[in-house]
Amino acid sequence: MSLIVTGSVGIDTVETPDGRRADEVLGGSSIYFAAGASYFTSVRLVAAVGDDFPDHLAQKFDHFDVCTHGLEKRAGSKTFRWHGRYHENMNDRDTLQVDLNVLGEALPPVPESYRDSKYIFLANTHPAGQLALLDQFPDRKLVVADTMDLWIETERDLLLQLLQRVDGFVLNDSEAKMLTEENNVVRAADKVLAMGPTFVVVKKGEHGAILRHRDGTGALPAFPATQVVDPTGAGDSFASGMMGYLCEQDDVSVGAIKRAMAYGTVVASYTIEKFSTDRLAEIDRSHIDARLAEFTGHLHIGG
């Protein structure tokens, strides 16, 4: 089975409260997603960067086994840029600057060789781009989308259209509250369900994630991490392990989604150990499986 993703590809600058910072590093929702999911299945990327996108960042991505035929370097456009600063708790963050640039333009064409994709992930990007990709895959088996506060604030109507057309939606707790104006995360998830999808996953950073599915509920803690260098991309990495596993197993049942969330938790736990995709580039599938076994042990509460 093949997994296709669209989302941002960006140049990030990240500041953390211990005084560390990473300037102009590889980032973007679809980059973290594709990198993590490549450990489970073949991943196809549809996204655009500008002609200012530096070769040394593109080369960083060469490491991952991802098809980039659908990644367009657009002449005359500029690459998406994001600058964020984390709070002391390493969970909340402020966006200091965001330049949408090419993210505000049309999605590149989908290569013919991607047409048989059955699993679709619409990573955080302009909802117009998410809808444009979705429109091209009427025979899909599963489509899941993510979003972010900026799009909830600026493109609410398009997001509501998107919600009516996806099977699953992943978002973090503050985004769920913002979208639904409901403070209780579980009730917020139910309000999102009422907007259209079959299941909703609400990510709660170091407090794990909950699943509300029309056929059941799940809850998982985060992997207990002692070394959090940079949480950027944790949400996209969570989605990568989740979607990668579902695609690999070709199973979209509630049970499979719960197991998939455990894989998502583990992939995210690696991402946060270094800036950008640096830690993801050091691991292989055996690291993911070993940490999953450790995590499963943590979850065992039988007598």
**Interface contacts to ligand AMP, rule CB under 6 A:** 8, 10, 12, 27-29, 82, 98, 124-125, 148, 150, 232-236
Which CA distances in Å does 166 have to 9, 28, 130, 173, 292?
22, 21, 10, 19, 28
Which of 91, 153, 101 shows the shortest CA–CA distance to 127?
A: 153
Radius of gyration for the chain, computed over Cα atoms and rounded to the nearest angstrom? 18
Is residue 53 within 8 Å of 76, Cβ to Cβ? Answer: no
Q: How far is the CB of 5 from ligand AMP (least distance, A)?
A: 12
**Residue with smaller CB distance to ligand AMP, 97 or 286:** 97
**Residue with smaller CB distance to ligand AMP, 1 or 150:** 150
Q: How far is the CB of 93 from ligand AMP (least distance, A)?
A: 8
Q: What residues contact 29, with CB distance under 8 A and at least 6 apart?
A: 7, 8, 123, 124, 125, 146, 233, 235, 236
Q: How far is the CB of 170 from ligand AMP (least distance, A)?
A: 10
Q: How far is the CB of 126 from ligand AMP (least distance, A)?
A: 7
**Residue with smaller CB distance to ligand AMP, 63 or 115:** 63
**Residue with smaller CB distance to ligand AMP, 155 or 167:** 155
Is residue 94 within 8 Å of 84, Cβ to Cβ? Answer: yes
Q: Which residue is nearest to ligand AMP (CB)?
A: 27
**Residue with smaller CB distance to ligand AMP, 173 or 236:** 236
How many residues does the structure list for the chain?
303
Going 80 to 274 to 32 to 223, the CA torsion angle's sign is negative
Q: How far is the CB of 250 from ligand AMP (least distance, A)?
A: 26
